[in-house]
Structure 1
Amino acid sequence: MNQPVVLPFYAKFTFILLSLICIGTISYIGSDIITPVLLAFLFTVLLIPLHSLLHIKLSFPNYLASFITVLIFVLFIAAILAFISYQVTDIANDFDIIKKNAISFFNNVQSYINEKFQISIWEQKKYIEKVTKDSVQNGTGTIGTAIGSLSDVLFDSMLVIVYTFLFLLYKTHFILFLAKLFNKDEHARLREIITQIKISINNYILGLIFEMFVVSILTGLGLWIIGVKYFILLGLITGILNLIPYIGIMIAGVLTILSSLTGTPEVSIVIGILVVNIIVQFIDNNILVPLIINSKVEINALVSIIGIIIGGAVAGISGMFLAIPLLAILKIIFDRIESLEPWGYVMGNHMPKKFTWRIRKLKTEN
């Protein structure tokens, strides 16, 4: 009987590093192909309960249940986008007011800087003209890049929809494929891993959706209190952009400040918007995220931040969004494979109360 080969630690560590380098290189080079597939996989896991209801409970044919499930999902997203577009049209109608108030607000800021920092208005205008000139020189490339990015987003969105439909249609086929890869003795563990991945991703995405609605409601309520027009739209946009780690809330803040100029150019409104965003982010980071998000995926903050940064470097905003669920999937797999269990532990948010190294003194006979 062949004995398994036992490698020393440095050899195992070398193989792990080489594997990580290979996976990272493939992910970076093929991010345009891999990212839509992973997004579709996440949406598929989220939509499986609805698909099972239509296919198993209501006896719809598999292809029809898959089509209706994806159609409902697309209509839900389209309804949100239609509401946002309708509200944005109203804001566009107030463009002249925004322009007038923006000029007044800008003049107030210039006067404040002149009084507090003794920088003349002429010097400020000269600096702004220089920055504007540099921006105009790069304007053509920026517009071309924006148009290209928009076309890429639309194409990727179509791919995600198609992939989601196909994942739902061939769901059983893929599960049987995984079963054929492993021996029958390992099927119980495989079933446990698949079930746990499904539960973890479902809980994570539902938690994100719940967090989005709570942030939208809190932001909208705060903006309504300080008298910002279109507080419902701005609250919803803030909640949606909050799904993008780090940069989403900053983009939402800029949009909210610009939109607030439809009502008044007062600096106090801008300060009020900043206060509302800070308070909502404090509640989100210290209450909602630990309670709703971290408790679902059980990934510690350090690994989460590193994963989000790596995901952003590899695949941009989509990579940042995918980082946490992918880390959760890896942790589930690592926890259930004995040789990888230490890596699953280091990714978790376990906080042991105390640990001390215990060294036994061995008595030897002379």
Structure 2
Amino acid sequence: MNNLPLTVRRSIELLGLVLLTAIFYVGRSILMPIIMAFFISLVLLPVFRFLSKRKVPEAIAIVIPILLVFILLAGIIWFFSAQVGSLVADFPKIKSNVSIHLNTLSNWVSGVTHYSTKEQLDFINKNTNELLSFAGKRVSTFALTLSSVFVFVGLLPIYIYLILFYKNLLLRFIFMWFSEEHHPKVKDAIYESETIIKSYLIGLLIQITYMTILVGGTLLIIGIKHALLIGVIFAILNLIPYVGALIGNVIGVILTMTSSTELWPIFTVLGVIAGVQFLDNNILMPRIVGSKVKINALFAILGVIVGGSIAGVPGMFLSMPIIAVLKVIFDRTDMFRQWGILLGDERPEHNPMTSPDSRKKEAVISKSGTIRNSK
């Protein structure tokens, strides 16, 4: 392929990118559980190796870590369900608080516009049928999505077991794709991808724990209603880079508004979330994950949006580790190195328009911002 004209190579690269995206979109219901199982398998690999060294039978050494994962998942679901149950128990009070907020909003609208309370009610009643129709469609879509979630979760343990069982076969397949002279690079890329994915996923699990404790615990001490539920929701949504934190703030405000008629709890929730998020972004998460591969914010956001468009919520969660693995692969191939540079967050110190050195593929940007040759 290196003998082809540059324009032809670039066209093939772009065509391959479009084809890869189309494959993910068409086969998302099949590929997403496999990719998720692959990433979870990498996290469970140290436990499997530990048990194997202790002469535990291979089948049992695979089943034990899978059971541990599902016990942990069941604990999280139980905790979340208990918090939602507490919210449902307060429904009469929530309904009263919502009515107060709606009356306040109606009076404010009447004061700043020419619409009276009666005109506002007429407008709401006029659009009620459309709203109910839309809600009915959403409920049917949610039921379909819920059934797909059960299928997704049901396939995960099977895929995890088979990936761990056939890991040597899969590794042999990967090595056979490349000539022997490139095997050291392939081995290095596999080890680095494993390290990155393990540190990222374990870091996310730790992040969910301390975000729930910090946000929920602080709000509970202050006296905010449904503090732990707000903490759990924000911690889980915060796993989606950039977008999740915004949605978590909105849901936190809504839950606070439904449980109180005052405004100070809303500002308290926003302040606590902002403080914990600052602590997480600048101190805790960088130390916990410590990933060697850093993705720039532009392509992190694009990855979340594209992943969500292709495969919904699973695609949003998996976008970052997929991009990280792609960057590891791109950085180790001469043909695709420019794509690795595009995904990274290490900006050239000099403008490529005026500095010829920063235009080269071989140029590697160090953490200090200086440029050195990789060859």
Q: What is the TM-score normalised by the length of structure 2?
A: 0.85
Deviation track 1:25-73 (CA, whole Å, cap 9, x = no partner) reads: 11111111111111111111111111111222x2211111111110100
Question: Where does the alignment leave 5 or more consecutive residues of structure 2 unmatched?
Answer: 358-375
Deviation track 1:104-152 (CA, whole Å, cap 9, x = no partner) reads: 2222232333335564322332232233321112333222111111111
Query: Helix, strand or coil for the counterpart of 2:295?
Result: coil
Are 1:25 and 2:22 an aligned pair?
yes
Q: In the alignment, which residue of structure 2 is the partner of 1:41?
A: 38
Query: Helix, strand or coil for the counterpart of 2:355?
Result: coil
The answer to whether the 8 A contact 2:299-2:343 is kept is yes
Are 1:105 and 2:101 an aligned pair?
yes
Query: Helix, strand or coil for the counterpart of 1:299?
Result: coil
Are 1:114 and 2:124 an aligned pair?
no
RMSD value over aligned CA atoms?
2.6
Larger mean Cα displacement after TM superposition, 270-279 or 8-17: 270-279
The answer to whether the 8 A contact 2:24-2:31 is kept is yes
Query: Helix, strand or coil for the counterpart of 1:101?
Result: helix
Following the alignment from structure 1 to structure 2, what is the Cα–Cα distance between the partners of residues 357 and 146? 54
Query: Helix, strand or coil for the counterpart of 1:60?
Result: coil
Query: Helix, strand or coil for the counterpart of 2:336?
Result: helix
Are 1:6 and 2:14 an aligned pair?
no
Are 1:54 and 2:51 an aligned pair?
yes
Q: In the alignment, which residue of structure 1 is the partner of 2:169?
A: 173
Equivalent position to 1:330, from 309, 326, 335: 326
Higher relative contact order (CA 8 A, sep 6+): 1
Question: Where does the alignment leave 5 or more consecutive residues of structure 1 unmatched?
Answer: 360-366
Following the alignment from structure 1 to structure 2, what is the Cα–Cα distance between the partners of residues 219 and 123? 41
Following the alignment from structure 2 to structure 1, what is the Cα–Cα distance between the partners of residues 32 and 169? 22
Are 1:238 and 2:234 an aligned pair?
yes
The answer to whether the 8 A contact 2:238-2:245 is kept is yes
Following the alignment from structure 1 to structure 2, what is the Cα–Cα distance between the partners of residues 340 and 159? 34
The answer to whether the 8 A contact 1:98-1:259 is kept is no
Following the alignment from structure 1 to structure 2, what is the Cα–Cα distance between the partners of residues 148 and 171? 33
Distance 1:229 1:296, change over 3 A: farther
Deviation track 1:263-315 (CA, whole Å, cap 9, x = no partner) reads: 53223323433344444445555656666668543112222222222212211
Deviation track 1:231-267 (CA, whole Å, cap 9, x = no partner) reads: 1232122101211345533543454345435753223
Following the alignment from structure 1 to structure 2, what is the Cα–Cα distance between the partners of residues 90 and 17? 51
Larger mean Cα displacement after TM superposition, 18-27 or 343-352: 343-352
The answer to whether the 8 A contact 1:45-1:201 is kept is yes
The answer to whether the 8 A contact 2:97-2:260 is kept is yes
Shift of 1:226: 4.5
The answer to whether the 8 A contact 2:38-2:163 is kept is yes
Are 1:126 and 2:122 an aligned pair?
yes
Equivalent position to 1:354, from 347, 350, 355: 350
Distance 1:346 1:245, change over 3 A: closer
The answer to whether the 8 A contact 2:42-2:197 is kept is yes
The answer to whether the 8 A contact 2:240-2:304 is kept is no
Larger mean Cα displacement after TM superposition, 282-291 or 326-335: 282-291
Following the alignment from structure 1 to structure 2, what is the Cα–Cα distance between the partners of residues 131 and 101? 23
Q: In the alignment, which residue of structure 1 is the partner of 2:309?
A: 313
Mapping for residues 1-366 of structure 1, pairs under 5 Å = 6-56=3-53, 58-117=54-113, 119-224=115-220, 226-260=222-256, 263-284=259-280, 295-355=291-351, 356-357=354-355
Distance 1:104 1:237, change over 3 A: same
Distance 1:112 1:62, change over 3 A: same
Letter in 2 for 1:206: I
Following the alignment from structure 2 to structure 1, what is the Cα–Cα distance between the partners of residues 278 and 2? 52
Distance 1:250 1:159, change over 3 A: same
Shift of 1:181: 3.3
Count of aligned residue pairs for this structure pair: 355
Letter in 2 for 1:306: L
Larger mean Cα displacement after TM superposition, 184-193 or 141-150: 184-193
Shift of 1:222: 4.4
- Which one has the largest radius of gyration? 1
Larger mean Cα displacement after TM superposition, 266-275 or 170-179: 266-275
Letter in 2 for 1:37: I
Following the alignment from structure 1 to structure 2, what is the Cα–Cα distance between the partners of residues 254 and 354? 40
Sequence identity, in percent? 34
Query: Helix, strand or coil for the counterpart of 2:335?
Result: helix
Q: In the alignment, which residue of structure 2 is the partner of 1:362?
A: none
The answer to whether the 8 A contact 2:199-2:290 is kept is no
The answer to whether the 8 A contact 2:241-2:301 is kept is no
